[in-house]
Amino acid sequence: MMRAEQLIRAFPGRRLAELEANDVSDYLARLGQKPNLQAWQFRQSVDAIQTLYSIVRTEWPVPPDWDFWRDSARTLEAQHATTAREFAPVTPEDYAGRIGDTRFAPLIHKHLDAFVRLASGIRTRGMSIRTEKTYLGWVCRFLLHFDARAPDELVFLYDKVLEQPLGDLGAFRRSRRPRRLPVVLSRNEVNRLLSELDGMQWLIASLLYGTGMRLMEALRLRVQDLEFDRGLIVVRRGKGDKDRIVPLPESLAGPLARHLREVRALHQRDLDAGYGEAMLPDALARKYPSAPREWRWQFVFPSGRLSRDPRSDATRRHHLHETAVQKAVVSAARRAGIAKRASCHTLRHSFATHLLESGYDIRTVQELLGHADVSTTQIYTHVLNRGGLAVRSPLDAG
């Protein structure tokens, strides 16, 4: 109970039962400013304090967001989607780590130049880090089991990276996954799910449904990306490395403004403590060395603790790890009694479907979602709540 005793000593002369939820949250925020505190130590403190108050049985109108603080212990890894685009691995182990299987390290070492060129070719085309991970994995397995791999899976490697087109491979078709209809919540189900959330998780989930953003797009938002006067949000470097504009829901303007006031106070405390830098793309950081400390570049949804940047080793406050929101949404759907497999991406699917139900043009929805091809957006026309192809069942014909 050493971690719990540290909380008690932080409030001399006050009993545990007298502390408010905000007192505990402020204590954890101060604790999170200690850069030498390891992730497991921070998580241990959160668990100890939560256990302590389960024994004390203090009644708070709104208890501390234990899941948020616990997940704030997670930092952005070198292979995380936010950091990896700017991260340039230099060892076979880095590439093996990106693929998620260290057994490939000797193989990558043997063909390191090809892997460097492959990663470079993928990034210059604006493909996602997850696509890069998939392609790297394919190449590893291809080299390990050459005879077992179909040639069409390596067309990109030979044609775009090694610049050795395979020519006419005969009559083959690229393998495609079966297209499944997305899970979509009704408006009532969305409201029930959101009502089971609070705090930052509620705000992020509401944004996902209200704007159609992907989860990582929301978490990577900077303060300057929210334009309250124009009622819009600028989504930068979305899938395919493209920018786009989505609406800022009027009902979220007030909660977002209040949230930003809290974030700004946190940022000021970081500055006063000698920190306060946000991670910027390398080119911008070199061109504008003072920009990382500016308010406009701070993450809208920061983590609850400082952590070391996996590339530069600098102490920074990254954005909240996505697992915090993912777990919160799944848990909220369960509590709301929703029998569907609901997730953060389900809110994006629901956004698109509900817009089409309201009569919005499919091209407009395509732009809002950031789809390169309208055929991707058209799948939502198959899940509109009109029944199968707007046909009335003969059972109801009377």
The residues assigned a catalytic role are 214, 239, 345, 348, 371, 380
The whole-angstrom separation of Cα 195 and Cα 188 is 11
Residue for token digits 């009532």? 188
With H, G, I as helix, E, B as strand and everything else as coil, classify residue 315: strand
Q: By C-alpha distance, which of 136, 131, 81, 135 is closest to 107?
A: 136
HEC letters along 147-163:
HHCCHHHHHHHHHHHCC
Question: How many CB atoms sit inside 10 A of residue 43's CB?
Answer: 18
Residue 112, token pair as written in the block: 């390191």
Amino acid in the structure at residue 69? W
CB 80 within 8 A of CB 307: no
Give the DSSP H/E element, type plus range, for residue 356: helix 344-357
With H, G, I as helix, E, B as strand and everything else as coil, classify residue 331: helix
Q: CA angle 369-370-376, nearest 5°? A: 75
HEC letters along 250-302:
HHHHHHHHHHHHHHHHHHHHHHHCCCCCCCCCHHHHHHCCCHHHCHHHCECCE
The whole-angstrom separation of Cα 155 and Cα 30 is 52
In this structure, the strands spanning 244-247 and 307-308 are unpaired
The whole-angstrom separation of Cα 202 and Cα 61 is 17
* C-alpha neighbours within 13 Å on the C-beta side of residue 121: 17
Residue 259, token pair as written in the block: 């949230």
With H, G, I as helix, E, B as strand and everything else as coil, classify residue 244: strand
CB 374 within 8 A of CB 362: yes
In this structure, the strands spanning 315-316 and 307-308 are antiparallel
Rounded CA Rg of the chain: 24
